[in-house]
Amino acid sequence: MLKRILITGAAGQLGSTLRETLKPHAESLRLSDITGISDLGPNEEFVQCDIADGEAVKALVEGCDAIVHLGGISVEKSFDLIEAANLRGVYNLYEAARLHGMPRIIFASSNHTIGYYPQDARLRHTDPFRPDSLYGVSKIFGEAVASLYHDKFGQESALVRIGSCTPKPENWRMLSTWLSPRDFTSLIVAAFTAPRLGCTVVWGQSANSMGWWDNSHAAFLGWVPQDNAQDYADEIRRSVPRPGPDEAVAKYQGGVFTDEPIHQS
């Protein structure tokens, strides 16, 4: 059992879920976010912290033996916002981890690192990036920092290129991109407990029959996703209109992010 897991971005959508599902896997959780959290349970502490503040992040990481890094901008925004939270933020986190015993890090990367691939492409983790947004570029930066700190210092990380993590798939694209919260939780536990993690890219997808991404290189982690978006296919066919073949959401793996303009500050 881990002693203390740090969850950054703990007030957000995924953080709120993982707080509950990771509870049995650690003696305590240190929750952090730039915004407040008031409903703390037993064995939870809260540290309010802007991930862009290097000194604050060093104090945040001290005493933690595993980190789930979710904090930052999670959609397309201006470069200024992305620069502070996602570029400086991820650098701050890896520097702090280096200074405090190099706890394993789960980095919430994204499918938007490869979002401009067409939906009929089947990808391996070694395929070149094709970001669909400045947000996607920032996740590539995060993956590069993780790789640097692994090669230079031995810091271990799972770089989870999450598809769409929601309680259930909500649209046609998610029949391919869905990651159930249950499967994300078991992936995090596998990455924290595997004898060796290295610096491993994992496509964050459930066992979707219509999935696009090949995770065979990461089989050594022993992670076997249990859920399949196909189980919701009839419900989606009945309730969600099918997008036309020329709409971004049906054409590109990153869906509507490919339609985003470059946002000005």
Active site residue 232: no
What is the nearest approach in angstroms of ligand NAI to the Cβ of residue 12? 2
Catalytic residue among 91, 94, 116, 135: 135
What is the nearest approach in angstroms of ligand 15L to the Cβ of residue 255? 6
Residues 151, 100: contact at Cβ < 8 Å?
no
Choose between 152 and 187: whose C-beta lies nearer to ligand NAI. 187
Q: 164 to 203, contacts with ligand 15L by CB under 6 A?
A: 164, 177
Q: Is 78 in the site for ligand NAI (CB under 6 A)?
A: no
- Residue 177 touches which of ligand NAI, ligand 15L, none (Cβ within 5-8 Å per kind): ligand 15L
CB-nearest residue to ligand NAI: 12
Choose between 19 and 173: whose C-beta lies nearer to ligand 15L. 173
Interface residues toward ligand NAI, by CB under 6 A: 9, 11-15, 33-35, 50-52, 70-74, 85, 89, 108, 110, 162, 164-165
Q: Which residues are catalytic?
A: 135
Interface residues toward ligand 15L, by CB under 6 A: 74-75, 110-112, 164, 177, 255
